Amino acid sequence: MNRDNPTSDSFSLVEVTVALAVAAFSLIAIFGLLPIGAQTHRAGIGQTAAVSILSSVIADMRSTPAMNPTSSLFGITFGRPTTLYFDGTGKSSSVIDATSRYRVTISFPAAPPGAFAPTFAYLNVTWPAAASIPSASGSAETFAIFDRN
């Protein structure tokens, strides 16, 4: 048995130590990114829900006949500013309560004069519902035009 063979197939202690250091550094970097990824995921869920709420409110307003001033699903009166509150499941309410997660504010800017002028609506969703607008953690907004003639 000859142990002095310099061409043996093995790793030295220095090579193993360097490999463990590289693996440890990589794992620390990955674990450091996990909270940021979770926060981004939560923000994405909130934005998706807010856009879904905006879509359903606009669909309700679009489906309202021109001779009816109030929408059937959410009770939005055209021309009058409205605030609605939604919980995490999409159920709406006109008053804030413990389950309210999203706040939708609807305002109606002035329309141009004329018999066939469109109705403008500015919709803004903020969450959490109880937070003031500047300190809300998220928001989504849109501008919609309705032909009410």
The predicted pLDDT at position 5 comes to 60
How far is 43 from 82, CA to CA, in rounded Å?
26
The model's pTM is 0.76
Phi, psi of 144 (to 5 degrees): -125, 150
- Name the token pair of 105: 């504010």
How far is 114 from 15, CA to CA, in rounded Å?
82
Compute the mean pLDDT over every residue in the chain, rounded to the nearest whole number.
Answer: 88
Q: Which residue has the higher pLDDT, 77 or 116?
A: 77
- Lowest-confidence pick of 1-5, 79-83, 119-123, 143-147: 1-5
The predicted pLDDT at position 89 comes to 82
Q: Which residues contact 65 (CB under 8 A, 6 or more apart)?
A: none
How crowded is the C-beta side of 106, counted as CA atoms within 13 Å?
25
Average pLDDT of the segment spanning 56-83? 93
The predicted pLDDT at position 25 comes to 94
Phi, psi of 81 (to 5 degrees): -55, 140
Q: Residue 63's pLDDT band (boundaries 50, 70, 90)?
A: very high
- Name the token pair of 60: 């309700």
Q: Which residue has the higher pLDDT, 62 or 97?
A: 62
